[in-house]
Structure 1
Amino acid sequence: MNQNTAKTVLILGANSDVAKQCILQYVEKGFAVIAASRSTDSLKDFVLKNNLSTKVSVLYFDAIDFDYHKNFYDILSIKPHIVVYAAGFLVENEKALSDFRSTQHMMQVNYMGGVSILNIIATDQSNKNLERIIGLSSLSGVRGRKSNFVYGSTKAAFTTYLAGLRQELARRNITVNVLVSGYINTKINAGLELNKNLLMEPDYVAKHIVSAGNSFTIVPNFKWKLINFILKILPESLVAKLP
């Protein structure tokens, strides 16, 4: 892959449905992409199927292998202009309350892994390429609700981290964004009973990531913008009545 003339995007957790759509859209915009995931075979198949071999390289990345993160970053032949942290793991609340190993894994993928690798990337002041970091969060992290508060807490923590990172990197003119999304029609949500009228498609969500501007929070779809606003202003007594 020739990255000499193109800006480079590093997508961490690149095997998700949204991340794969980001790969397609970044390439369409002329970026070179480093797609990193534990599922390298699946990613390689995706790259071949879409004739992207000259524009996308695939690397192994494990979000919870914290000790390896520094080495992973150091061996990148070209340091990224844009970084997207898309790794995610979901355990339904009932299981999260009774099975701490699953809960711990969710915490590690959704929050700790992001903090680990993004700290390494953000503190590398020798990388003059870096322009933007985008983290994928969720409306589940806006307010604690009884149906998903364990998962939501990992997303709330990640959003708070990104907000502080944005302030830290502003002096270097590096933009940090958080995508706060509602229901997406992806494999992570397969089997869940979700309102079909509120489901967004991965390519639609990816479009908002790839076109990220200066605002910190990106909320795709006007319906979810309204829900996000309402969640923030609802009194606790009403939030408690939500599922």
Structure 2
Amino acid sequence: MNQNTGKTVLILGANSDVAKQCIKQYIEKGFSVIAASRNTQSLNDFINSNNLDRSKITVLYFDAADFDSHQKFYEGLSVKPHIAVYSAGFLVDNQQALRDFKGTKQMMEVNYMGGVSILNIIAMDESNKNLERIIGLSSLSGVRGRKSNFVYGSTKAAFTQYLAGLRQELASRKIIVNALVIGYIRTKINAGLELNESLIMEPDYVAKFIVNAGNSFTIVPNFKWKIIYHILRLLPESLAAKLP
């Protein structure tokens, strides 16, 4: 039986496959959810198809790259969140990003700049006594620069460092900041990529680590990815340069 926590979670970029599973799991834990995305129709379809409790979910329009709208978006929330999750993401192929700055810019805006913009607003609202946690979704791609995806990886590396500093900034207010450092997930953003099947995680599996986040800053779902994470961090540059 679900227990009503009386708490609200704001999920930004809620149309991602992982974020949708977070909606389900937060509802199951008794939270109310504000699901914010550019694609509100997809969110509503997901809610309907999964017979989720409409009384516990508010769907709002949010554009991560429309920085000028973020303050108004936040001020318009009927309830200020206890937990904020930033899961917006965008990916283009590295070779495309190297040759066309449009894709690079969009990755910067969605993966990093949008997160900094809206999370700064949320974090600096000291009138919101509800706020207890901020969670950002980052990536193993941001741990070390690799030839195959360093442009995308650089946006995730920047976001992780931002979250690390934000954690220190908010520590005196006892607000926890977590960075989910995630490997391959079976999602639409990775559709068509040639990935190692044994390393692919399902969205609902990753969502459990978000919904049940503890006090640690870096959270790496799956023991295989934890091993890879530590190897990447410690690998000498001469060996890292040989990675694809």
* TM-score category of the 2 structures, normalised to the smaller one: over 0.9
Runs of 4 or more consecutive aligned structure 1 residues displaced over 6 Å after TM superposition? none
Structure 2 CA distance, aligned partners of 1:45 and 1:138? Answer: 28
Letter in 2 for 1:48: N
Q: Which runs of 5+ in 2 are unaligned?
A: none
Aligned to 1:236: 237
Q: Which runs of 5+ in 1 are unaligned?
A: none
What is the correspondence of 1:44-193 to structure 2 with a 5 Å cutoff? 44-52=44-52, 53-193=54-194
Letter in 1 for 2:218: T
Aligned to 2:7: 7
CA deviation vs aligned residue, 1:1-20 (integer Å, no higher than 9, x gap): xxx96200000000000000
Structure 2 CA distance, aligned partners of 1:5 and 1:11? Answer: 17
Residue 48 of structure 1, CA deviation: 1.6
Structure 2 CA distance, aligned partners of 1:54 and 1:123? Answer: 29
CA deviation vs aligned residue, 1:128-184 (integer Å, no higher than 9, x gap): 000000000000000000100000000000000000000000000000000001000
Are 2:5 and 2:31, in contact at CA under 8 Å, matched by a contact in 1?
no
Aligned to 1:214: 215
Aligned to 2:206: 205
- SS of the aligned residue for 1:30 comes to coil
Q: Percent identity?
A: 78
Letter in 2 for 1:223: K
Structure 2 CA distance, aligned partners of 1:5 and 1:81? Answer: 11
Residue 188 of structure 1, CA deviation: 0.2
Aligned to 2:28: 28
- SS of the aligned residue for 1:54 comes to helix
CA deviation vs aligned residue, 1:77-129 (integer Å, no higher than 9, x gap): 10000000000000110000001011100100000000000000000000000
- SS of the aligned residue for 1:45 comes to helix
Residue 49 of structure 1, CA deviation: 1.7
Letter in 1 for 2:48: L
Letter in 2 for 1:46: F
Structure 1 CA distance, aligned partners of 2:194 and 2:48? Answer: 34
Structure 1 CA distance, aligned partners of 2:190 and 2:55? Answer: 32
Structure 2 CA distance, aligned partners of 1:227 and 1:72? Answer: 38
Residue 51 of structure 1, CA deviation: 2.2
Structure 1 CA distance, aligned partners of 2:137 and 2:131? Answer: 18
Tell me how large the CA RMSD over aligned residues is: 0.9
CA deviation vs aligned residue, 1:180-206 (integer Å, no higher than 9, x gap): 010000000000000000000000000
Aligned to 2:226: 225
- Number of residue-to-residue matches in the alignment: 240
CA deviation vs aligned residue, 1:185-236 (integer Å, no higher than 9, x gap): 0000000000000000000000000000000000000000000000000000
Aligned to 1:17: 17
Structure 2 CA distance, aligned partners of 1:210 and 1:134? Answer: 9
Structure 1 CA distance, aligned partners of 2:141 and 2:99? Answer: 20
- SS of the aligned residue for 1:24 comes to helix
Structure 2 CA distance, aligned partners of 1:197 and 1:138? Answer: 18
Aligned to 2:37: 37
CA deviation vs aligned residue, 1:14-70 (integer Å, no higher than 9, x gap): 000000000000000000000000000010111122222111110000000000000
